[in-house]
Structure 1
Amino acid sequence: MRGVALLRGINVGGSARVPMAELRELFEGLGLTDVATYVQSGNVVFTAASLDAAKLAGALEKEIAAAFKVRSSVLVRTGRELAAIGSRHPFEADEPTPAKLHVVFLRGAPSKERAAALDPDRSPGDRFALRGRELYVHYPNGQGRSKLTVDYIEKALGTVGTARNWNTVQKLRAMVTEVDR
């Protein structure tokens, strides 16, 4: 079964350095195969005999901390989940620039009360749509200028998250289906 692991906060601004070649070796050491990384921000595609996403994420967090002395939350999605997530962004029709579209992958689906805590007026112009364990975001002025940050989203929703732009989501979607062809 194909899967993808998304590491939060590695290789950002010169801190939490994790070399991708060594990260691939770590995954292979856990019995995962067809391991491939995409860019330096902690995107790992793999094949597993079976996939318990929560259990694997916990094991990866421990192994990464031990091997690299880095604390990184790891979120795992199956290939099928990623294919569905990447099939359509709710704001795609309105935005011709994929880099302004993001998906915040969440560890768990927030409660209705937590979801209501996201302030739609926090960052004028930005829009978002919560779909289960993913928050789709449109940053028309760019993510760097937004007040709708991942830290804010995590606090409001009460769960860990990590963001990827739409280009990255599409590349990972293609990668998880490559081996299955």
Structure 2
Amino acid sequence: MDDLKAYFGEVPGVENVVTYMLGGNVLFDAPLIDGATLVHTIETKLKQKLGYEVDIMLRLLSEMEEIVQNNPLTTIKTEEKNRLYVTFLSEVPAFDVRGSLGVYSNDAEYARVVNREVYIYSNNYGKTCFSNTFIEKKLGVKATTRNWATVNKMLEL
């Protein structure tokens, strides 16, 4: 994570870089750069440094706040919040595939697509059918998942 923090620090216009946990969570300020340019610049820098392509799922602070506020799974009891996950998508999936995850939902796990996120409830995420690979295949976009505690912690940082 120290190397990742250093790589982001080398991106022009990026400042105040902070990493969180080992999952590639990077928080930073880049007030003068638009999102698409920033994603391209970071992906290029990481490919240069690491030797392989890395997909970036960029969210603004305001978007992260909306992700928490717009959680469609609000009926989950407080003691079950550790079963809640958010999958960040590279883009909004096509309209005709957004409901495709519902077919795989059941009492133990279910998923709801909202904009560029999938909210997942799972009794055992390690064995869920809603893996990143599955979601990418069904929705036709790239995906990465974080648990609800991580999503909220990143807002606090």
State the TM-score, normalizing by the size of structure 2. 0.89
1:110 match: 93
What CA distance in whole angstroms lies between the structure 2 residues aligned with 1:123 and 1:60? 38
Task: Write the letter of the residue equivalent to 1:130.
Answer: V
Asked if the contact 1:123–1:146 (Cα under 8 Å) also holds between the matched residues in 2, the reply is no
Offset of residue 88 of structure 1: 4.9
Q: CA RMSD in A?
A: 1.7
Structure with the greater relative contact order (CA < 8 A, sep ≥ 6): 1 or 2? 1
Instruction: Give the Cα separation in 1 of the matches to 2:57 and 2:116.
Output: 10
How far did residue 124 of structure 1 move? 5.5
Give structure 1 regions of 4+ aligned residues with deviation exceeding 4 angstroms: none
**Residue in 1 aligned with 2:80?**
97
8 Å CA contact 2:136, 2:143 repeated in 1: yes
Residues 82 and 148 in structure 2, CA contact (< 8 A), matched pair in contact too? yes
Q: Where do 5+ consecutive residues of structure 1 fail to align?
A: 1-19, 176-181
Residue deviations 1:15-60, cap 9 Å, x none?
Answer: xxxxx11111111111311110000110000011224222211221
Gaps of 5+ in 2: none
CA contact (8 A) 1:104 1:136 kept: yes
The TM-score with structure 1 as length reference comes to: 0.78
Structure with higher helix content: 2
Q: Distance in 2 between matches of 1:91 and 1:161?
A: 19
Task: State the percentage of identical aligned residues.
Answer: 28
Aligned length: 155
- The aligned runs of 1:18-167 (5 Å cut-off) are 20-30=1-11, 31-95=13-77, 96-121=79-104, 125-139=108-122, 141-167=123-149
Distance 2:73 2:128 in 1: 17
